Structure 1
């Protein structure tokens, strides 16, 4: 991780501080180069606007949105101290959007016994022109490696729409354990959590399956 001084102070992870200029690079030999950087409105909003209006992005709940609406939304998120959107690149091309957040300050903390070390994320993939084997899995590991590289992050939380079967499979593959359903204003969601130890165990299981030629 290429990380500059945290200008927001040491009480929050640098990836939640847009002034820090935190970015992350990872090369996965079997797949390609991944890069993360804080979202830039002028550069990134046109891509995001296109993605959220695609049918597959229905769970992002921005269908039929205008460019202005998308820009205003992400301008507000950038200005929210406990949330920071990042743009993800694959081989130098925009490939996914991720919103990192501190659960302790987020509304989600009203739905469970939140801990100060809980951090979450929402992810949206770009439409794939040419499918890449295990691409979503590799993106997931990049995000989790990035977050767990920060010592303040003790546990990751996700709250996916209960109907989104694809993301449930990916979450469980990465070590998330599902707890219970919650009723948010816009959706019924599963609460799931993953510690460093659970993630490390999941990665080891993946290595064993690859070695056996199962995946």
Structure 2
């Protein structure tokens, strides 16, 4: 056996012909060996319909197959829970300060992503925000002094209703609730960077995307769990739009707890700069870097 591959016996394969079950099985094998670059499959598995839908190749001489970790993790099944959106490749619409951009599709509803992270022992999932369902917990999180220090949104419930209504009506933003094992733990915003305030501070591309996030439940904190949600959110962003090659961020420069995760998760600090309300660090995460370096 080569050191960077796992060769699997036919007996280890799932008996079902279900593509999602097969993909989850492959994901679990990669989780068992977080350093493996690919999985080698015997002839029978390589010829099966579920395997044929995964990124890899079949050796014509032997019929054996190989699934590459990087390509496998960039396929939407089984983690993306809505159809990949259809993006218009040609034609631009006016954007802020001359930053024209492609026309964006409507945001999805309901569950959008779900994945089990073996190293943290939790399933991370994201749901589109529904104000009537999520307002109470969002209000509690924002009025926690720990969260308010960074977000500065410690306001009344009705004021926060207006905040969410504004976010949901903004076509460049997508607001989601993050959960661990089905229990809500945090709020996240995924945004198109070129239309965002951040787009004016670097050479923003038409498909660049960024995020803001907070974990509202103290019980959900911890190094392994924080790493899991950052990986999950970045993974979701890259899955949602195949043209997105760069994920960006602008955390406060004094958010040391968040920034210490950067290098291990393929985020690089490009520079420091000043927004009107805070001094920020410009963070970049390139698609190729993320899928080649980060053990999901």
Which TM-score band applies after superposition, normalised by the shorter structure?
A: 0.7 to 0.9
So what's the TM-score if we normalise by structure 2? 0.63
Aligned to 2:93: none
**8 Å Cα contact 1:158/1:192 also seen in 2:** yes
**8 Å Cα contact 1:154/1:196 also seen in 2:** yes
Q: CA deviation at 1:173?
A: 2.2
Unaligned ranges ≥5, structure 1:
208-215
In the alignment, is residue 125 of structure 1 matched against residue 204 of structure 2? Answer: no
**Number of residue pairs matched?**
201
How far apart, CA to CA, are the structure 2 residues paired with 1:131 and 1:199?
Answer: 23
Aligned to 1:147: 237
Pair 1:188–1:132, CA change in 2 (3 A): closer
SS in 2 for 1:167: helix
So what's the TM-score if we normalise by structure 1? 0.85
Aligned to 1:213: none
SS in 1 for 2:139: helix
Pair 1:133–1:158, CA change in 2 (3 A): closer
Unaligned ranges ≥5, structure 2:
1-79, 89-101
Aligned to 2:87: 10
Cα deviation digits, residues 171-202 of structure 1 (max 9, x gap)? 23211111111111111101010101221243
SS in 1 for 2:146: helix
How far apart, CA to CA, are the structure 2 residues paired with 1:169 and 1:116?
Answer: 28
How far apart, CA to CA, are the structure 1 residues paired with 2:201 and 2:111?
Answer: 30
**8 Å Cα contact 2:178/2:187 also seen in 1:** yes
Task: Give the greater-gyration-radius structure (CA).
Answer: 2
**8 Å Cα contact 2:215/2:221 also seen in 1:** no
Aligned to 1:187: 278
SS in 2 for 1:70: helix
Aligned to 1:82: 172
SS in 1 for 2:214: strand
Q: 2:269 aligns with which of 168, 178, 182?
A: 178
How far apart, CA to CA, are the structure 2 residues paired with 1:116 and 1:197?
Answer: 18
In the alignment, is residue 28 of structure 1 matched against residue 28 of structure 2? Answer: no
Q: CA deviation at 1:19?
A: 4.8
**8 Å Cα contact 1:17/1:84 also seen in 2:** no
How far apart, CA to CA, are the structure 2 residues paired with 1:133 and 1:125?
Answer: 12
**8 Å Cα contact 2:109/2:127 also seen in 1:** no
Pair 1:116–1:188, CA change in 2 (3 A): same
Q: CA RMSD in A?
A: 2.2
SS in 2 for 1:23: strand
Counting only pairs closer than 5 Å after superposition, residues 150-165 of structure 1 correspond to structure 2 as 150-165=241-256
Pair 1:178–1:92, CA change in 2 (3 A): same
Pair 1:13–1:2, CA change in 2 (3 A): farther
Pair 1:164–1:13, CA change in 2 (3 A): farther
